[in-house]
Amino acid sequence: MDIQKIFCEELENIFTDFLKNEDEFLRWLSSKETEILFDKNAEPIFIEQQKKYEAVSNEVLAKTIDHTLLKPEATKEEILYLCNEAKQFNFASVCINPSYVELCAEELRSSSVKVCTVIGFPLGANAIKVKKNEAELAINTGAVEVDMVINIGRLKQHDYNYVLDDISGVAESAKEKSVLTKVIIETALLTNEEKIKACLIAKKAKAEFVKTSTGFSKGGATVLDVALMKFIVDGDMNVKASGGIRNRQDAISMLMNGAERIGTSSGVKIISSGD
The pLDDT value given to residue 43: 67
Q: What is the pLDDT of residue 232?
A: 86
Q: Judge contact between 169 and 202, C-beta under 8 A.
A: no
> Which domains does the chain show, CATH number per domain?
3-272 (3.20.20.70)
Question: What pLDDT digit, counting tens, does each position of 5-55 carry?
Answer: 556 667 777 666 666 665 555 555 555 443 444 455 566 777 788 888 988
pLDDT at 227: 86
Q: Tell me, yes or no, if the pTM score tops 0.95.
A: no
* Single-letter amino acid code for the residue at 41: N
Query: How is residue 220 annotated by DSSP?
Result: -
pLDDT of residue 46: 77
Cα torsion angle, 96, 102, 107, 111, sign: positive
Mean pLDDT, the chain, whole residue set: 89
| Residues classed as catalytic | 147, 211, 240
pLDDT less than 70: residues of the chain: 1-9, 14-43, 275
- Strand 261-264 relative to strand 209-211, pairing: unpaired
